[in-house]
Amino acid sequence: KQEVTQIPAALSVPEGENLVLNCSFTDSAIYNLQWFRQDPGKGLTSLLLIQSSQREQTSGRLNASLDKSSGRSTLYIAASQPGDSATYLCAIPTGGFKTIFGAGTRLFVKA
């Protein structure tokens, strides 16, 4: 059974710092891995989708990597800004169309 873990659970950093959020999973046979952000009281916004055959994806200041052999994905945020404050979740689809989510990392970027 796939399990997804995110570390740290919460993170507070000063503006401008580069930071790394971690996601680990127990079953390396994945179709893809997706990173989302959720602002309070809002739905989830898709940030990056990494297919099983890919090693990384980049969008602006965000870079996500995938290492299936070690069961890990990282989300790198460069030059963090207060607007990056949100909860970040990683998610992996299962064979039955469902999705397994990590518990999320709550990020607070201080101005």
Partner 1 sequence: GAVVSQHPSWVICKSGTSVKIECRSLDFQATTMFWYRQFPKQSLMLMATSNEGSKATYEQGVEKDKFLINHASLTLSTLTVTSAHPEDSSFYICSARDLRGAPTGELFFGEGSRLTVL
> Which positions from 52 to 91 touch partner 1 by CB under 8 A, shown as an x/- string?
x------------------------------------x-x
The residues pairing with 55 across neighbouring beta strands, listed in sequence order, are none
> Which positions from 34 to 53 touch partner 1 by CB under 8 A, shown as an x/- string?
x-x----xxxxxx--x-xx-
Q: Which two tokens stand for residue 106?
A: 């709550």
Instruction: Tell me which residues touch partner 1 (CB under 8 A).
Output: 31-32, 34, 36, 41-46, 49, 51-52, 89, 91, 93, 97-99, 101-104
